[in-house]
Amino acid sequence: MDDSISSTSLKVSLFSLRHTFESAQPLTFHADYDQFSNTITYPSGRNVINMGHYGSEKDGEVRIVSRDISSAASDVSRRFRLGDDMKAVYKGIGTDQFMKDAITRYSGMRLTLNDPWETTLVFIISQFNNVKRIRLITKNIIARFGPEIMDGSGKSIMRGFPGSADLIGASEKDFRKCGAGFRAKYLKDLADYCTNNIDLNRLNPKNYDKLKETLMSINGVGEKVADCIILMGYGNLAAFPIDVWVKRTIEKAYFNGKRKRMKEIMDFVSQKWDRRYLGYAQQYIFWGGRQASRNEVK
Protein backbone atom coordinates (compact mmCIF):
# COMPACT_ATOMS: atom_id res chain seq x y z
CA MET A 1 0.00 0.00 0.00
CA ASP A 2 1.11 3.52 -0.80
CA ASP A 3 1.50 5.44 2.44
CA SER A 4 2.36 8.79 0.91
CA ILE A 5 0.02 11.72 1.28
CA SER A 6 -1.45 13.20 -1.86
CA SER A 7 -4.22 15.56 -2.84
CA THR A 8 -6.97 16.08 -5.34
CA SER A 9 -9.78 18.53 -5.94
CA LEU A 10 -13.37 18.45 -7.08
CA LYS A 11 -15.61 21.14 -8.54
CA VAL A 12 -18.82 21.48 -6.59
CA SER A 13 -21.73 23.86 -6.81
CA LEU A 14 -24.27 24.75 -4.14
CA PHE A 15 -22.17 23.39 -1.33
CA SER A 16 -21.18 25.05 1.93
CA LEU A 17 -18.81 23.19 4.21
CA ARG A 18 -19.40 25.71 6.96
CA HIS A 19 -23.18 25.39 7.03
CA THR A 20 -22.97 21.65 6.63
CA PHE A 21 -20.54 21.33 9.48
CA GLU A 22 -22.27 23.72 11.82
CA SER A 23 -25.75 22.30 11.36
CA ALA A 24 -25.28 19.56 13.94
CA GLN A 25 -25.15 16.32 11.99
CA PRO A 26 -23.44 13.10 13.09
CA LEU A 27 -20.13 13.74 11.31
CA THR A 28 -19.85 17.06 13.04
CA PHE A 29 -19.92 15.47 16.45
CA HIS A 30 -16.51 13.95 16.02
CA ALA A 31 -14.74 15.66 13.13
CA ASP A 32 -12.50 18.66 13.74
CA TYR A 33 -13.44 21.81 11.88
CA ASP A 34 -11.17 24.82 11.49
CA GLN A 35 -13.39 27.77 10.73
CA PHE A 36 -10.49 30.04 9.76
CA SER A 37 -9.09 27.82 7.04
CA ASN A 38 -12.52 26.31 6.36
CA THR A 39 -11.14 22.80 6.48
CA ILE A 40 -12.34 19.65 8.18
CA THR A 41 -10.40 16.63 9.44
CA TYR A 42 -12.10 13.34 10.10
CA PRO A 43 -11.29 9.63 10.34
CA SER A 44 -12.33 7.22 7.62
CA GLY A 45 -11.43 3.61 8.26
CA ARG A 46 -7.69 3.57 8.83
CA ASN A 47 -7.20 6.88 7.07
CA VAL A 48 -7.50 10.48 8.10
CA ILE A 49 -9.08 12.79 5.57
CA ASN A 50 -8.49 16.50 5.40
CA MET A 51 -10.89 18.44 3.24
CA GLY A 52 -11.11 22.15 2.51
CA HIS A 53 -13.75 24.17 0.71
CA TYR A 54 -12.72 27.13 -1.45
CA GLY A 55 -14.52 29.68 -3.56
CA SER A 56 -18.17 30.59 -3.39
CA GLU A 57 -21.05 28.43 -2.22
CA LYS A 58 -22.58 28.59 -5.67
CA ASP A 59 -19.45 27.60 -7.52
CA GLY A 60 -16.58 26.34 -5.49
CA GLU A 61 -14.15 23.52 -5.13
CA VAL A 62 -13.15 21.08 -2.44
CA ARG A 63 -9.55 20.03 -1.98
CA ILE A 64 -8.85 16.70 -0.36
CA VAL A 65 -5.62 15.64 1.30
CA SER A 66 -5.11 12.06 2.44
CA ARG A 67 -3.37 8.76 1.98
CA ASP A 68 -5.20 6.55 -0.51
CA ILE A 69 -6.50 9.61 -2.27
CA SER A 70 -8.94 7.90 -4.59
CA SER A 71 -10.90 6.27 -1.78
CA ALA A 72 -10.70 9.51 0.17
CA ALA A 73 -12.24 11.40 -2.74
CA SER A 74 -15.12 8.96 -3.02
CA ASP A 75 -15.57 9.09 0.75
CA VAL A 76 -15.88 12.88 0.68
CA SER A 77 -18.27 12.77 -2.25
CA ARG A 78 -20.44 10.20 -0.50
CA ARG A 79 -20.37 11.65 3.02
CA PHE A 80 -21.16 15.18 1.90
CA ARG A 81 -23.65 14.00 -0.72
CA LEU A 82 -21.88 15.98 -3.41
CA GLY A 83 -23.86 14.15 -6.06
CA ASP A 84 -27.17 15.61 -4.89
CA ASP A 85 -28.84 17.90 -7.39
CA MET A 86 -29.41 20.84 -5.05
CA LYS A 87 -31.15 22.86 -7.74
CA ALA A 88 -33.80 20.18 -7.91
CA VAL A 89 -33.93 19.94 -4.13
CA TYR A 90 -34.42 23.68 -3.72
CA LYS A 91 -37.05 23.68 -6.41
CA GLY A 92 -38.89 20.83 -4.71
CA ILE A 93 -38.95 22.33 -1.22
CA GLY A 94 -38.54 26.07 -1.78
CA THR A 95 -42.25 26.59 -2.23
CA ASP A 96 -42.94 29.07 0.56
CA GLN A 97 -41.32 32.16 2.01
CA PHE A 98 -40.03 30.62 5.23
CA MET A 99 -38.27 27.83 3.38
CA LYS A 100 -36.96 30.20 0.73
CA ASP A 101 -35.41 32.34 3.44
CA ALA A 102 -33.80 29.33 5.09
CA ILE A 103 -32.41 28.19 1.74
CA THR A 104 -31.00 31.65 1.07
CA ARG A 105 -29.47 31.96 4.49
CA TYR A 106 -27.98 28.46 4.60
CA SER A 107 -27.40 27.99 0.90
CA GLY A 108 -25.27 24.95 0.18
CA MET A 109 -26.01 23.18 3.47
CA ARG A 110 -26.05 19.46 2.66
CA LEU A 111 -27.24 16.50 4.55
CA THR A 112 -24.37 14.20 5.41
CA LEU A 113 -24.33 10.44 4.93
CA ASN A 114 -22.84 8.62 7.87
CA ASP A 115 -22.10 5.12 9.05
CA PRO A 116 -25.36 3.55 10.35
CA TRP A 117 -23.75 2.32 13.56
CA GLU A 118 -22.16 5.70 14.32
CA THR A 119 -25.40 7.47 13.57
CA THR A 120 -27.36 5.18 15.84
CA LEU A 121 -24.96 5.68 18.71
CA VAL A 122 -24.85 9.46 18.30
CA PHE A 123 -28.61 9.85 18.09
CA ILE A 124 -29.22 7.68 21.12
CA ILE A 125 -26.97 10.13 22.93
CA SER A 126 -28.94 13.03 21.45
CA GLN A 127 -32.20 12.29 23.22
CA PHE A 128 -33.23 14.82 25.87
CA ASN A 129 -29.86 16.47 25.42
CA ASN A 130 -28.25 19.51 23.82
CA VAL A 131 -25.85 19.78 20.90
CA LYS A 132 -22.86 20.85 22.94
CA ARG A 133 -23.16 17.91 25.28
CA ILE A 134 -23.81 15.45 22.47
CA ARG A 135 -20.47 16.54 20.99
CA LEU A 136 -18.75 16.21 24.34
CA ILE A 137 -20.09 12.75 25.14
CA THR A 138 -19.28 11.48 21.64
CA LYS A 139 -15.73 12.80 21.86
CA ASN A 140 -15.31 11.19 25.28
CA ILE A 141 -16.39 7.82 23.93
CA ILE A 142 -13.99 8.13 21.01
CA ALA A 143 -11.13 9.16 23.28
CA ARG A 144 -11.82 6.22 25.58
CA PHE A 145 -12.68 3.44 23.11
CA GLY A 146 -11.77 4.60 19.61
CA PRO A 147 -9.07 2.65 17.74
CA GLU A 148 -5.88 4.57 17.09
CA ILE A 149 -5.08 5.58 13.53
CA MET A 150 -1.40 5.54 12.59
CA ASP A 151 0.47 7.51 9.99
CA GLY A 152 3.01 5.88 7.65
CA SER A 153 5.68 5.70 10.31
CA GLY A 154 3.42 4.06 12.88
CA LYS A 155 2.79 7.18 14.90
CA SER A 156 -0.74 7.63 16.24
CA ILE A 157 -2.44 10.68 14.75
CA MET A 158 -6.06 10.43 15.85
CA ARG A 159 -8.69 8.00 17.03
CA GLY A 160 -11.39 6.57 14.85
CA PHE A 161 -14.98 5.98 15.86
CA PRO A 162 -15.24 2.79 17.94
CA GLY A 163 -17.15 -0.07 16.34
CA SER A 164 -19.50 -2.27 18.33
CA ALA A 165 -16.66 -4.74 18.87
CA ASP A 166 -14.54 -1.99 20.43
CA LEU A 167 -17.28 -1.47 23.01
CA ILE A 168 -17.72 -5.08 24.09
CA GLY A 169 -15.72 -4.59 27.26
CA ALA A 170 -17.41 -1.30 28.07
CA SER A 171 -19.76 -1.28 31.04
CA GLU A 172 -22.70 0.96 31.75
CA LYS A 173 -20.52 2.71 34.28
CA ASP A 174 -17.89 3.40 31.61
CA PHE A 175 -20.48 5.18 29.49
CA ARG A 176 -21.58 7.15 32.49
CA LYS A 177 -18.00 8.28 32.96
CA CYS A 178 -18.16 9.58 29.40
CA GLY A 179 -21.09 11.73 30.51
CA ALA A 180 -23.87 9.70 28.91
CA GLY A 181 -26.05 9.82 32.02
CA PHE A 182 -29.23 7.73 31.89
CA ARG A 183 -28.42 6.85 28.24
CA ALA A 184 -25.52 4.69 29.42
CA LYS A 185 -27.76 1.65 29.62
CA TYR A 186 -28.99 2.21 26.07
CA LEU A 187 -25.41 2.37 24.80
CA LYS A 188 -24.45 -0.80 26.60
CA ASP A 189 -27.51 -2.57 25.18
CA LEU A 190 -26.71 -1.21 21.72
CA ALA A 191 -23.18 -2.59 21.75
CA ASP A 192 -24.45 -6.01 22.85
CA TYR A 193 -27.31 -6.05 20.38
CA CYS A 194 -25.17 -5.02 17.41
CA THR A 195 -22.50 -7.55 18.24
CA ASN A 196 -24.84 -10.49 18.76
CA ASN A 197 -28.12 -9.91 16.98
CA ILE A 198 -28.03 -7.39 14.19
CA ASP A 199 -25.71 -5.95 11.55
CA LEU A 200 -26.78 -2.39 10.88
CA ASN A 201 -24.75 -2.29 7.69
CA ARG A 202 -26.85 -5.02 6.17
CA LEU A 203 -30.24 -3.34 6.45
CA ASN A 204 -31.94 -2.18 3.27
CA PRO A 205 -31.86 1.64 3.15
CA LYS A 206 -34.70 1.84 0.63
CA ASN A 207 -37.46 0.13 2.59
CA TYR A 208 -38.45 2.92 4.96
CA ASP A 209 -41.14 1.07 6.91
CA LYS A 210 -39.15 -2.09 7.44
CA LEU A 211 -36.02 -0.16 8.32
CA LYS A 212 -37.87 1.92 10.88
CA GLU A 213 -39.42 -1.12 12.47
CA THR A 214 -36.03 -2.80 12.77
CA LEU A 215 -34.32 0.26 14.20
CA MET A 216 -37.08 0.75 16.75
CA SER A 217 -36.39 -2.72 18.09
CA ILE A 218 -33.22 -1.23 19.58
CA ASN A 219 -33.60 -0.16 23.20
CA GLY A 220 -33.46 3.62 23.32
CA VAL A 221 -34.47 4.13 19.69
CA GLY A 222 -37.95 5.57 19.24
CA GLU A 223 -39.77 7.25 16.38
CA LYS A 224 -37.64 10.38 16.17
CA VAL A 225 -34.23 8.78 16.62
CA ALA A 226 -35.14 6.11 14.08
CA ASP A 227 -35.97 8.80 11.54
CA CYS A 228 -32.66 10.53 12.19
CA ILE A 229 -30.81 7.28 11.60
CA ILE A 230 -32.78 6.56 8.42
CA LEU A 231 -32.01 10.04 7.12
CA MET A 232 -28.39 10.55 8.13
CA GLY A 233 -27.20 6.96 8.48
CA TYR A 234 -28.97 5.40 5.50
CA GLY A 235 -29.54 8.47 3.34
CA ASN A 236 -33.22 7.84 2.83
CA LEU A 237 -34.76 11.26 2.20
CA ALA A 238 -38.29 10.04 2.95
CA ALA A 239 -37.54 10.47 6.64
CA PHE A 240 -38.61 13.68 8.36
CA PRO A 241 -37.52 13.56 12.02
CA ILE A 242 -39.64 15.81 14.22
CA ASP A 243 -37.84 17.07 17.29
CA VAL A 244 -38.70 19.96 19.60
CA TRP A 245 -37.10 22.52 17.28
CA VAL A 246 -38.77 21.27 14.12
CA LYS A 247 -42.14 21.06 15.82
CA ARG A 248 -41.82 24.49 17.35
CA THR A 249 -40.58 26.05 14.12
CA ILE A 250 -43.33 24.55 11.98
CA GLU A 251 -46.00 25.59 14.46
CA LYS A 252 -44.65 29.11 14.45
CA ALA A 253 -44.02 29.47 10.72
CA TYR A 254 -47.05 27.63 9.34
CA PHE A 255 -49.70 27.46 12.08
CA ASN A 256 -49.52 30.90 13.58
CA GLY A 257 -47.94 29.50 16.72
CA LYS A 258 -50.76 27.07 17.38
CA ARG A 259 -49.74 23.76 18.93
CA LYS A 260 -50.20 20.74 16.72
CA ARG A 261 -49.92 17.02 17.19
CA MET A 262 -47.12 15.01 15.65
CA LYS A 263 -49.42 13.35 13.19
CA GLU A 264 -50.88 16.65 12.00
CA ILE A 265 -47.38 17.99 11.41
CA MET A 266 -46.38 14.84 9.55
CA ASP A 267 -49.46 15.06 7.32
CA PHE A 268 -48.75 18.71 6.71
CA VAL A 269 -45.12 18.33 5.66
CA SER A 270 -45.73 15.37 3.41
CA GLN A 271 -48.25 17.30 1.37
CA LYS A 272 -46.32 20.56 1.48
CA TRP A 273 -42.91 19.60 0.12
CA ASP A 274 -41.68 17.28 -2.60
CA ARG A 275 -41.57 13.91 -0.88
CA ARG A 276 -38.40 12.94 -2.67
CA TYR A 277 -36.61 15.62 -0.64
CA LEU A 278 -38.41 15.63 2.69
CA GLY A 279 -35.20 15.01 4.58
CA TYR A 280 -33.68 18.16 3.16
CA ALA A 281 -36.78 20.13 4.10
CA GLN A 282 -36.33 18.89 7.66
CA GLN A 283 -32.69 19.92 7.81
CA TYR A 284 -33.46 23.47 6.67
CA ILE A 285 -36.42 23.74 9.04
CA PHE A 286 -34.36 22.43 11.91
CA TRP A 287 -31.35 24.64 11.40
CA GLY A 288 -33.30 27.68 10.24
CA GLY A 289 -35.54 27.51 13.27
CA ARG A 290 -32.83 26.82 15.75
CA GLN A 291 -30.60 29.63 14.52
CA ALA A 292 -33.51 32.07 14.36
CA SER A 293 -34.37 31.41 17.97
CA ARG A 294 -30.73 31.85 18.90
CA ASN A 295 -30.73 35.29 17.33
CA GLU A 296 -33.80 36.40 19.20
CA VAL A 297 -33.59 38.67 22.22
CA LYS A 298 -32.16 36.96 25.22
User: For DNA, which residue of 36, 128, 153, 258 counts as binding (CB under 7 A)?
Assistant: 128
* Residue window 264-293: x/- pattern of binding to DNA, with contact defined by CB under 7 A: ------------------xx--x---x---
Closest by CA position to 86, among listed 293, 290, 297, 281? 281
User: For DNA, which residue of 224, 235, 237, 273 counts as binding (CB under 7 A)?
Assistant: 224
238 is an interface residue for DNA by CB under 7 A: no
Residues 6+ apart with CB under 8 A from 112: 20, 25, 26, 27, 28, 79, 80, 81, 232
108 is an interface residue for DNA by CB under 7 A: no
Closest by CA position to 210, among listed 193, 231, 232, 230? 230
228 is an interface residue for DNA by CB under 7 A: yes
β-pairing, 59-66 vs 6-13, is antiparallel
- Nearest approach, Cβ of residue 180 and DNA (Å): 7
- Contacts (CB under 7 A) with DNA, residues 18-57: 23-25
Pick between residue 77 and residue 127 the one whose CB is nearest to DNA: 127
Helix (H, G, I), strand (E, B) or coil at 80: coil
User: For DNA, which residue of 133, 144, 260, 275 counts as binding (CB under 7 A)?
Assistant: 133
220 is an interface residue for DNA by CB under 7 A: yes
CA dist 228 → 210, 232, 283 (Å): 15, 6, 10
Distance CA 226, CA 29 (A): 18
- Nearest approach, Cβ of residue 58 and DNA (Å): 24
- Contacts (CB under 7 A) with DNA, residues 174-203: 176, 179, 181-182
β-pairing, 59-66 vs 47-55, is antiparallel
Question: Under the rule (CB under 7 A), what is the footprint of DNA?
Answer: 23-25, 126-134, 176, 179, 181-182, 216, 218-226, 228, 241, 243-246, 261, 263, 282-283, 286, 290, 298
